[in-house]
A and B are shown apart, each in its own frame.
Chain A
Amino acid sequence: MDKQEIIEKLRSIVKPYSNNQNAFDNLTESTDFISDLQINSANLVDVILDIEEEFDIVIDNQSMERMLDVQSAIEIIELKLSEK
């Protein structure tokens, strides 16, 4: 799966939790889930669970710690996919 595909999947995952339409429309690798998309921190766990389901991976606690922006999410997803 290439990076663009991952970003597209991430885009549809974060959509229902995003509270900033402008930041969502302009989503890039540097987009921050909390400060840019204004995802409620209690919903960040839903983003993580949705990622696990969508990519069929398990995100351990250490990875979850840095799951705050699109770039880290991509790195973690790529790593977990490569370990499958």
Chain B
Amino acid sequence: MIGNDIVDLALAQKDSNWRRHGFLDKIFTEKEQLLILKSEYPETMVWNLWSRKEASYKIYNRQTQKRGYFPLQLECFTVDIINDFYYGNVIINEQIYFTKTEITSQYINTIAVLKVSDFDSIQFLKSNTAIQKDNGLPFYRDPKNAVLKPVSISHHGRFEQIVCI
């Protein structure tokens, strides 16, 4: 299983005022808020953490069939920063997800997986790939062996990304 999220930074800046009273409290834990407020680029950190929560939620939603709005329960931990990639974990209840987040000046993109080795087998699908939905969740039929693979789709502003393992 895989989850992804992409944030178009220009659109996020236009559509969201993260400095709004109450905004951070509803989405981020105290530790995460400290990370944001201490960051040299707080806005980038807001979307960095947000995209990790969103990507992980997509797997969680698939695993549990539980739909809801509980960003505070998905807590982000940063493990390593290599070049412009943040590697980390998102933890909810007992479940742990591994996240890889790319930070650019235009977008922030997170891919979440269940085990680290999955990062090596990510496939990026073209935007015109035939996707079928089952119970609201997207799948892709691999033409090589006709196996149905779970995919994750993220679209925001100028960017779209479709991934599967």
- A-side residues, CB < 8 A to B, are 35, 40-46, 48-49, 52, 61, 64-68
Contact = CB atoms under 8 A, between A and B. Distances in A.
A46 B163 CA distance: 29
23 contacts: A35-B136, A40-B15, A40-B156, A41-B54, A41-B69, A42-B7, A42-B12, A42-B15, A45-B27, A46-B20, A48-B26, A49-B21, A49-B23, A52-B22, A61-B26, A61-B70, A61-B72, A64-B26, A65-B70, A66-B68, A67-B69, A68-B67, A68-B69
A64 B69 CA distance: 6
Interface in B123-163: 136, 156
Interface residues on B, range: 20 to 34
Given A40-B15, A68-B67, A49 B54 contact: no
Contacts of A64: 26, 69-70
B105 interface: no
Nearest to A42: B16
Contacts of B72: 61
A57 to B, nearest CB: 13
B69 A65 contact: yes
Sort A-B residue pairs by CB-CB distance and give the 9 closest, nearest first. Answer: A65-B68, A65-B70, A45-B26, A49-B22, A42-B16, A64-B69, A67-B69, A44-B69, A45-B27
Contact of B68 (A40, A46, A68): A68
Interface string B1-29: 00000010000100110001111001100
Contact of B20 (A41, A49, A67): A49
B107 interface: no
B145 to A, nearest CB: 31
B50 interface: yes
Contacts of A61: 26, 70, 72
A68 B69 CA distance: 7
Residue of A45, A49, A68 with highest tally of chain B CB at under 10 A: A45
Contacts of B15: 40, 42-43
Contacts of B16: 42-43, 46
Contacts of A40: 15, 156
A42 B68 CA distance: 13
Contacts of A66: 68-69
